Chain A
Amino acid sequence: MKILKVEGISKTFGNYKAVNNISFEVEEGKIFGLLGPNGAGKTTTIRMITNIIYPDKGKIEILGKSTGPDIQNSIAYLPEERGLYKKLKVLDQLIYFARLKEVPKDIAISRAKEWLSKLGAAGWENKKIEELSKGMQQKVQFIATILHEPPVLILDEPFSGFDPINTELLKSIIIDMKNAGKTIILSTHVMSQVEQLCDDLVLINKGNVVLSGAVRTIKSSYGSNTVIMEFDGDSNFLNELPGIKINDITTHRVEFRVDNHELTSNHILKTAMNNNVTIFKFEKVEPSLHEIFIEVVGNENKKEIKDAV
């Protein structure tokens, strides 16, 4: 079942067209990646889905109903820019946000305590937000977002501000939620997270959809002309070979794309050996989403992307 249908929505602010005729559908129980460079129109799209602003044109349907104030209780939204009342105590904060989604107070309290201990934050109930570290605040913010247990969650950069351990904890929570049947819309610039978590994705650039579909399908459609090579020695020989485009290079590992069909793996390996480079690993793979993102969004946005990724 399609739990979210976005049909041809547009939004213009003054002379600036933020979103231009965007359509996509989200399957229930999946993790859906909403991707795009900065300023692509992701936040505007999310705000229209969450009914914070209204589209000029087009239609948004959630759970078979048009989006509107009545649908807000069915959505959880974690904005990229986090915000909590600095002077308020953690538990009061959680109760307030849950009650705004019409969760009764006693249920809100028991759920809040449950989640606090789940995220290793038991005993924080009476601490003021301003007494917490940034990472701790992020945890409280996440709990505040999901306390009403809605079927649809929209998470904008949910891992920012978390250390690797908490990032893994949050990832497993997101996967648990998916397994429990929730639909999650994930907006992030970190493509490795999309590869790990998302089933489907839509890529937006300058207010338009430029790529959409299942992550697997998208990747295989880009073929397996990408090579990951681990080596010891001077990698400069790669520059002498025509039709090689290096995506990522470090001292002992390089990822490159072979655009020249006549350039075989054998030829590359031979050249390596002639240059006294020892090869530990040579693997032909599908391109990473990172690479696809950069290719699709195109050269005109390149500088912007470097800032973003």
Chain B
Amino acid sequence: MRSKGSKIFTIIQHEYISKVKSKGFILSTILAPLAIVAIYGTVIAVTLMSSGETTKKIAIRDLTGQIGIELVSRDTSKFFITEKSEEELRQEVLSSELDGFMIIDDKFLETGYGNVYTSGGGGLGFISSIEQNTEDIIVNKKLKEIGAENSIIDLVNRGVSITTKKVTLEGSREDYSQMLAFLGYFLGFLIYGLMFTYGSFVMRGVIEEKANRIVEVIASSARPFEIMFGKVVGIGAVGLTQVLFWLILLMILFFAGGTIAQMFMENSQNMKMMADTANQPNNAEILHFFENFSISPWIIVAFLFYFLAGYFIYSSLFAAVGSAVDQEQDASQLTMPVALPIIIPIIFIPNVMNNPDGTISTVLSLIPFFSPILMVSRIAAGDVPLWQILLSIVLLAGTFVLCLWFAAKIYRVGILMYGKKPTFKDIIKWFNLD
């Protein structure tokens, strides 16, 4: 009479196809990566532009007769020497002829204390650039005074730079700890966004079916559990489709990025020499990065697994919330306890990224409600012992079964309840109803 699983498959298919074909899905799939590129692009562009800004004109009244000249020689567009009195300079700043002035008193070489007067603020970048420049000048002068060798002066100017290498079976290779920590952040936030987005899709779908009285028709055709679970799986498949699409896009970009970097290398040997002298990652480094930095396939597998596990747990809870209300506006209060455990790990991500292997990180990332976000961040940022991963998988599976059971019980009653907005007490009553 009724073949097992065929109804649930029909529901999954319906949820998947109607969502994937929708304009919203197609647009968000294409626009989201563009939005990320645009946001990061803007941030980088703003940073580059503001670092080159020379809007501040600073007059220097130098009583030592030594530092001012060197400061000016470092940035002639920003600094110039003046002989005017302090009072005259104050008037110029007040009348906006001048952005600011610096008084270098005759004891500056000994004390290192100086004052900069501006029309207001100036920003952290401005202050630290003056500090950096004057410090360099003083240190160089002092070193020369005590007769230090040029090699020592060079070393002091250049500073210490430590490259971390990772010990592997084959020897050692570049360690991209910082890059990986960044990746950990990024993946954690991505899972957070995906769980919220797709969880609320499930909730809205449940509310739509209830508000439009569709659910009674469907409930006369399939079990409430099949309806709920079919929706969760169908929309989850939509999420997976979107993530896989982005993953493929990323792989293409990464491959293309390496090729482009190589092209640049071959075309401009000069640039390489130029870049060598500059204090920034040069072409060789970039090329090296593309050659050696590979995201382990395990990170991708872990990402997909934890995303789906987290999605399944939260979306079934969102489905329960959706079944309890008549319209979306009523859902916000009930959404809180479901949304909170998604938000909490985001607060902890910085701590976990600082010390991915610490006790607190380990414990937090094993809590099933947190592990979709925190475990992925840890796996991306470093090596997580296998037993911890396995333990978190077991805990997640158990939590999922519990949440699904709990949600299904509420859903069964909730979809047929109209009228009064339910309280938590009411929902607990429903739970015991059948």
Contact = CB atoms under 8 A, between A and B. Distances in A.
B10 A52 contact: no
Contact of A50 (B7, B18, B220, B223): B220
Contacts of B2: 69-70, 72-73, 102
B183 interface: no
A53 interface: yes
A86 B223 contact: no
B142 interface: no
Contacts of B3: 102
A97 B416 contact: no
B168 to A, nearest CB: 53
A82 B434 contact: no
A11 to B, nearest CB: 10
Nearest to B418: A81
Nearest to A52: B219
A96 B416 contact: no
A96 B429 contact: no
A213 interface: no
A32 interface: no
Interface in A139-188: 144-145
Nearest to A99: B10
A8 interface: no
Interface stretch (B130-138, B208-216, B238-246): B208-216
A52 B416 contact: yes
A22 to B, nearest CB: 19
Nearest to A13: B433
B220 A70 contact: no
A210 interface: no
Given A70-B1, A73-B1, A100-B10, A84 B212 contact: yes
Interface in A64-88: 69-75, 77, 79, 81-88
A51 B220 CA distance: 7
Contacts of A206: none
Given A87-B18, A101-B221, 20 more contacts: A14-B429, A50-B220, A51-B220, A52-B216, A69-B2, A69-B222, A70-B1, A72-B220, A73-B1, A79-B213, A83-B209, A84-B212, A85-B18, A85-B208, A92-B18, A96-B14, A97-B218, A97-B221, A99-B10, A102-B3
26 contacts: A13-B433, A14-B429, A14-B433, A51-B220, A52-B219, A52-B416, A54-B434, A69-B223, A70-B1, A70-B2, A71-B1, A72-B2, A72-B222, A73-B2, A77-B216, A79-B213, A83-B212, A83-B213, A96-B10, A96-B14, A97-B217, A97-B218, A99-B10, A100-B222, A102-B6, A102-B7
Interface of B: 1-3, 6-7, 10-11, 14, 18, 208-209, 212-223, 416, 429, 433-434
Interface of A: 13-14, 47, 50-54, 69-75, 77, 79, 81-88, 92, 96-97, 99-102, 144-145
